[in-house]
A = this chain, B = another copy of it.
Amino acid sequence: MAIILYDLCGRDPELRFSPYCWRAKMALAHKNLAYTTVATPFTGIASVEDGASKTVPVINDEGRIIHDSFDIAVHLDEAYPDEPTLFDEEAAVAAARFLEAWAIVTLHPIIMRIIVKDIHDVLGPVDQAYFRPSREARLGRSLEEHQTGADANAEALRAALEPARRTLARHEWLGGRAPRFADYIVFGSLMWLVTIHGGLPLLPDDGVRSWFERCLDLHDGLARSARIAKAA
Protein backbone atom coordinates (compact mmCIF):
# COMPACT_ATOMS: atom_id res chain seq x y z
CA MET A 1 0.00 0.00 0.00
CA ALA A 2 1.38 3.38 -0.96
CA ILE A 3 2.28 5.78 1.82
CA ILE A 4 -0.20 8.65 2.25
CA LEU A 5 1.29 12.11 2.68
CA TYR A 6 -0.89 14.98 3.88
CA ASP A 7 0.50 17.98 2.03
CA LEU A 8 -0.34 21.64 2.72
CA CYS A 9 -2.11 23.40 -0.16
CA GLY A 10 -3.49 26.80 -1.14
CA ARG A 11 -6.87 27.72 -2.63
CA ASP A 12 -5.50 25.96 -5.70
CA PRO A 13 -5.14 22.41 -4.34
CA GLU A 14 -2.17 21.84 -6.67
CA LEU A 15 -0.21 24.69 -5.07
CA ARG A 16 1.98 22.96 -2.47
CA PHE A 17 4.27 25.40 -0.70
CA SER A 18 5.08 24.10 2.80
CA PRO A 19 8.86 23.86 3.39
CA TYR A 20 8.31 20.90 5.68
CA CYS A 21 6.13 19.03 3.19
CA TRP A 22 8.78 19.57 0.51
CA ARG A 23 11.35 18.02 2.82
CA ALA A 24 9.07 15.01 3.32
CA LYS A 25 8.32 14.61 -0.39
CA MET A 26 12.01 14.72 -1.26
CA ALA A 27 12.74 12.19 1.50
CA LEU A 28 10.05 9.80 0.21
CA ALA A 29 11.38 10.11 -3.34
CA HIS A 30 14.94 9.61 -2.09
CA LYS A 31 13.86 6.30 -0.53
CA ASN A 32 12.15 5.23 -3.78
CA LEU A 33 8.86 4.86 -1.95
CA ALA A 34 5.49 5.11 -3.66
CA TYR A 35 3.27 7.72 -2.05
CA THR A 36 0.12 9.64 -2.74
CA THR A 37 -0.45 13.14 -1.46
CA VAL A 38 -3.65 14.46 0.05
CA ALA A 39 -4.07 18.19 -0.56
CA THR A 40 -4.66 19.64 2.90
CA PRO A 41 -5.54 23.27 3.63
CA PHE A 42 -4.44 24.77 6.97
CA THR A 43 -7.90 24.34 8.40
CA GLY A 44 -8.02 20.72 7.25
CA ILE A 45 -5.02 19.66 9.38
CA ALA A 46 -7.13 19.20 12.52
CA SER A 47 -9.08 16.38 10.87
CA VAL A 48 -6.07 14.57 9.37
CA GLU A 49 -5.80 11.04 10.80
CA ASP A 50 -8.12 11.81 13.73
CA GLY A 51 -6.19 14.92 14.74
CA ALA A 52 -2.80 13.19 14.87
CA SER A 53 -0.89 16.47 14.55
CA LYS A 54 -1.31 20.23 14.59
CA THR A 55 1.02 20.51 11.60
CA VAL A 56 1.73 18.81 8.31
CA PRO A 57 3.44 16.82 6.90
CA VAL A 58 1.77 13.77 8.36
CA ILE A 59 2.30 10.36 6.77
CA ASN A 60 0.33 7.18 7.10
CA ASP A 61 2.78 4.37 6.40
CA GLU A 62 0.67 1.20 6.50
CA GLY A 63 -1.11 2.36 9.61
CA ARG A 64 1.87 4.03 11.28
CA ILE A 65 1.04 7.72 11.63
CA ILE A 66 4.12 9.95 11.79
CA HIS A 67 4.29 13.72 11.76
CA ASP A 68 7.14 16.24 11.63
CA SER A 69 9.33 16.14 8.52
CA PHE A 70 12.46 15.27 10.47
CA ASP A 71 10.82 12.42 12.37
CA ILE A 72 9.47 11.19 9.04
CA ALA A 73 13.00 11.12 7.62
CA VAL A 74 14.33 9.22 10.64
CA HIS A 75 11.42 6.77 10.40
CA LEU A 76 12.04 6.16 6.68
CA ASP A 77 15.72 5.38 7.23
CA GLU A 78 14.81 2.97 10.03
CA ALA A 79 11.88 1.33 8.24
CA TYR A 80 13.55 1.05 4.82
CA PRO A 81 17.25 0.42 5.49
CA ASP A 82 17.80 -1.15 2.07
CA GLU A 83 16.86 2.04 0.25
CA PRO A 84 19.30 4.98 -0.15
CA THR A 85 20.18 6.48 3.21
CA LEU A 86 19.03 9.93 4.32
CA PHE A 87 21.83 10.28 6.88
CA ASP A 88 25.37 8.97 6.60
CA GLU A 89 28.98 9.47 7.52
CA GLU A 90 30.15 11.68 4.66
CA ALA A 91 27.22 13.88 5.60
CA ALA A 92 28.73 14.42 9.04
CA VAL A 93 31.86 15.92 7.49
CA ALA A 94 29.84 18.24 5.27
CA ALA A 95 27.59 19.13 8.22
CA ALA A 96 30.61 19.97 10.34
CA ARG A 97 31.79 22.23 7.52
CA PHE A 98 28.43 23.97 7.71
CA LEU A 99 28.87 24.33 11.48
CA GLU A 100 32.36 25.75 10.97
CA ALA A 101 31.08 28.34 8.50
CA TRP A 102 28.16 29.16 10.80
CA ALA A 103 30.58 29.74 13.68
CA ILE A 104 32.69 32.06 11.54
CA VAL A 105 29.86 34.14 10.10
CA THR A 106 27.51 34.13 13.09
CA LEU A 107 29.32 33.52 16.39
CA HIS A 108 32.72 35.04 15.78
CA PRO A 109 31.55 38.57 14.88
CA ILE A 110 29.62 38.69 18.17
CA ILE A 111 32.55 37.34 20.17
CA MET A 112 34.82 39.90 18.50
CA ARG A 113 32.53 42.66 19.75
CA ILE A 114 32.94 41.26 23.25
CA ILE A 115 36.72 40.68 23.34
CA VAL A 116 38.70 42.16 20.44
CA LYS A 117 40.33 44.93 22.52
CA ASP A 118 40.94 42.49 25.36
CA ILE A 119 42.71 40.13 22.93
CA HIS A 120 44.98 43.01 21.97
CA ASP A 121 45.76 43.67 25.61
CA VAL A 122 46.99 40.12 26.30
CA LEU A 123 49.46 40.15 23.40
CA GLY A 124 53.15 41.00 23.62
CA PRO A 125 54.28 44.35 22.17
CA VAL A 126 55.37 42.92 18.81
CA ASP A 127 52.06 41.11 18.37
CA GLN A 128 50.11 44.19 19.45
CA ALA A 129 51.82 46.19 16.69
CA TYR A 130 50.66 43.55 14.18
CA PHE A 131 47.21 42.89 15.62
CA ARG A 132 45.86 46.42 15.96
CA PRO A 133 46.35 47.66 12.37
CA SER A 134 45.37 44.35 10.74
CA ARG A 135 42.15 44.01 12.78
CA GLU A 136 41.25 47.69 12.58
CA ALA A 137 41.57 47.55 8.78
CA ARG A 138 39.26 44.51 8.73
CA LEU A 139 36.74 46.02 11.16
CA GLY A 140 36.82 49.52 9.69
CA ARG A 141 37.23 51.15 13.11
CA SER A 142 39.37 51.12 16.21
CA LEU A 143 39.43 48.14 18.56
CA GLU A 144 38.11 50.43 21.30
CA GLU A 145 35.12 51.41 19.16
CA HIS A 146 34.45 47.85 18.09
CA GLN A 147 34.53 46.23 21.52
CA THR A 148 31.20 47.06 23.09
CA GLY A 149 31.58 44.31 25.66
CA ALA A 150 29.74 41.38 27.19
CA ASP A 151 26.67 43.18 28.51
CA ALA A 152 25.92 44.81 25.17
CA ASN A 153 26.33 41.57 23.22
CA ALA A 154 25.11 38.86 25.59
CA GLU A 155 21.62 38.79 24.11
CA ALA A 156 22.98 38.54 20.56
CA LEU A 157 25.25 35.67 21.64
CA ARG A 158 22.38 33.83 23.30
CA ALA A 159 20.18 34.31 20.23
CA ALA A 160 22.93 33.21 17.86
CA LEU A 161 23.41 29.98 19.81
CA GLU A 162 19.75 28.98 19.39
CA PRO A 163 20.40 26.30 16.73
CA ALA A 164 22.96 24.68 19.06
CA ARG A 165 20.52 24.95 21.97
CA ARG A 166 17.76 23.23 20.01
CA THR A 167 20.11 20.47 18.87
CA LEU A 168 21.28 19.94 22.46
CA ALA A 169 17.67 19.67 23.63
CA ARG A 170 17.52 16.44 21.58
CA HIS A 171 21.10 15.16 21.66
CA GLU A 172 23.61 15.10 24.50
CA TRP A 173 26.28 16.33 22.08
CA LEU A 174 26.29 18.24 18.82
CA GLY A 175 27.92 15.06 17.54
CA GLY A 176 24.94 13.00 18.72
CA ARG A 177 25.46 10.30 21.35
CA ALA A 178 29.11 11.20 21.89
CA PRO A 179 31.32 14.25 21.38
CA ARG A 180 32.59 14.69 17.85
CA PHE A 181 34.44 17.38 15.94
CA ALA A 182 31.16 19.31 15.64
CA ASP A 183 31.32 19.83 19.41
CA TYR A 184 34.91 20.98 19.29
CA ILE A 185 34.09 23.57 16.62
CA VAL A 186 31.57 25.39 18.81
CA PHE A 187 33.51 24.64 22.00
CA GLY A 188 36.62 26.22 20.47
CA SER A 189 34.70 29.39 19.68
CA LEU A 190 33.45 29.61 23.25
CA MET A 191 36.87 28.79 24.76
CA TRP A 192 38.22 31.78 22.82
CA LEU A 193 35.66 33.92 24.63
CA VAL A 194 36.23 32.27 28.01
CA THR A 195 40.04 32.38 28.03
CA ILE A 196 39.96 36.11 27.24
CA HIS A 197 36.80 37.23 28.99
CA GLY A 198 36.82 34.80 31.92
CA GLY A 199 33.26 33.48 31.59
CA LEU A 200 30.31 32.76 29.35
CA PRO A 201 27.52 35.36 29.28
CA LEU A 202 24.77 32.72 29.17
CA LEU A 203 21.87 32.21 31.56
CA PRO A 204 22.39 29.62 34.34
CA ASP A 205 19.79 27.20 32.93
CA ASP A 206 20.95 27.50 29.30
CA GLY A 207 21.43 24.07 27.74
CA VAL A 208 24.46 25.43 25.92
CA ARG A 209 26.07 26.22 29.28
CA SER A 210 25.58 22.68 30.63
CA TRP A 211 26.91 21.22 27.37
CA PHE A 212 29.92 23.55 27.67
CA GLU A 213 30.55 22.21 31.17
CA ARG A 214 30.43 18.65 29.80
CA CYS A 215 33.00 19.68 27.19
CA LEU A 216 35.25 21.05 29.93
CA ASP A 217 35.12 17.62 31.60
CA LEU A 218 36.24 15.80 28.44
CA HIS A 219 39.70 14.26 28.08
CA ASP A 220 40.51 14.42 31.79
CA GLY A 221 39.40 18.02 32.02
CA LEU A 222 41.88 19.16 29.36
CA ALA A 223 40.29 22.59 28.95
CA ARG A 224 39.51 23.12 32.65
CA SER A 225 43.16 23.81 33.30
CA ALA A 226 43.36 26.51 30.62
CA ARG A 227 44.97 29.78 31.62
CA ILE A 228 42.39 32.58 31.83
CA ALA A 229 43.53 36.14 31.05
CA LYS A 230 43.65 38.58 33.92
CA ALA A 231 42.04 41.95 33.34
CA ALA A 232 44.73 44.28 32.01
Contacts and interface: CB of A to CB of B under 8 A. Distances in A.
Contacts of A12: 122, 227, 229
Interface in A165-218: 165-167, 170-171, 173-185, 187-189, 191-192, 195-196, 215, 218
Q: How many copies does the complex hold?
A: 2
B95 A179 contact: no
A97 interface: yes
Given A87-B89, A90-B177, A167-B98, A187 B23 contact: yes
Top 3 A-B pairs ranked by shortest CB distance?
Answer: A95-B95, A90-B176, A10-B122
Interface of A: 10-12, 14-23, 25-27, 29-30, 41-43, 69-70, 73-74, 84-106, 108, 119, 122-127, 130-131, 159, 162-167, 170-171, 173-185, 187-189, 191-192, 195-196, 215, 218-219, 222-223, 226-229
